[in-house]
Amino acid sequence: MLEKKTLDYEKVVLIGVINQEQDEKKSNEYLDELEFLSYTAGGEVMKRFTQKIDTPNPKTFIGRGKMDEVAAYVKEHEIGTVVFDDELSPAQQKNIEKILRCKILDRTSLILDIFAQRAQTSYARTQVELAQYEYLLPRLAGLWTHLERQRGGIGMRGPGETEIETDRRIVRDRIALLKKKLETIDKQMATQRGNRGALVRVALVGYTNVGKSTLMNVISKSDVFAENKLFATLDTTVRKVVIGNLPFLLSDTVGFIRKLPTQLVESFKSTLDEVREADLLLHVVDISHPNFEEHIASVKKILSEIDTADKPTLMIFNKIDQYTYETIAPDDLATERSEKHFTIDDWKHTWMNRMNGQALFISALNRENLSEFRKKVYEEVRKIHVTRFPYNNFLYPEYVDEL
Ligand X SMILES: Nc1nc2c(ncn2[C@@H]2O[C@H](COP(=O)(O)OP(=O)(O)OP(=O)(O)O)[C@@H](O)[C@H]2O)c(=O)[nH]1
Which residue positions form the known binding site for Mg(2+)? Answer: 213, 233
Q: Which stretch binds Mg ion (CB under 5 A): 68-76, 78-86, 207-215, 280-288?
A: 207-215
Q: Does 319 participate in binding ligand X (rule CB under 6 A)?
A: yes
Around Cβ 11, how many Cβ atoms within 10 Å? Answer: 16
**Least distance between ligand X and beta carbon 377 (Å):** 16
Stretch that binds ligand X, among 94-102, 239-247, 361-369, 377-385 (CB under 6 A): 361-369
Distance, C-alpha 274 to centroid of its chain: 16
Cβ nearer to ligand X, comparing 96 with 119: 119
Contact partner at residue 210 from ligand X, Mg ion, none, CB < 5 to 8 Å by partner kind: ligand X
Binding flag, residue 210, ligand X (CB under 6 A):
yes
Binding mask 217-236 for Mg ion (x = CB under 5 A): ---------------xx---
Minimum distance from CB of 213 to ligand X (Å)?
A: 3
* Angle at 293 (CA atoms; ends 255, 223), nearest 5 degrees: 30
From CA 56, how far away is CA 91, in angstroms rounded?
Answer: 13
Question: Cβ 358 to ligand X, closest distance in Å?
Answer: 20
322 interacts with ligand X by CB under 6 A? yes
Residue 208 binding partner per list ligand X, Mg ion, none, with a CB distance cut-off of 5 to 8 Å that depends on partner kind: ligand X
Of all residues in this chain, which one has the CB nearest to Mg ion in the complex?
233
> Interface with ligand X includes 283 (CB under 6 A)?
no
Q: Is residue 223 involved in binding ligand X (CB under 6 A)?
A: no
Question: Counting contacts by CB under 5 A, is residue 316 touching Mg ion?
Answer: no
- As measured in angstroms, the least distance from the Cβ of 40 to ligand X is 9
Parallel/antiparallel/unpaired status of strands 10-18 and 43-52: parallel
**CA gap 309, 291 in Å, rounded:** 21
With CB under 6 A as the contact rule, the residue among 30, 49, 115, 231 that binds ligand X is 231
Total residues found in the chain within this entry: 403
Residue 211 binding target from ligand X, Mg ion, none, CB below 5 to 8 Å by type: ligand X
The count of chain residues that interact with Mg ion, using the rule CB under 5 A, is 4
CB of 281 to ligand X, least distance (A): 14
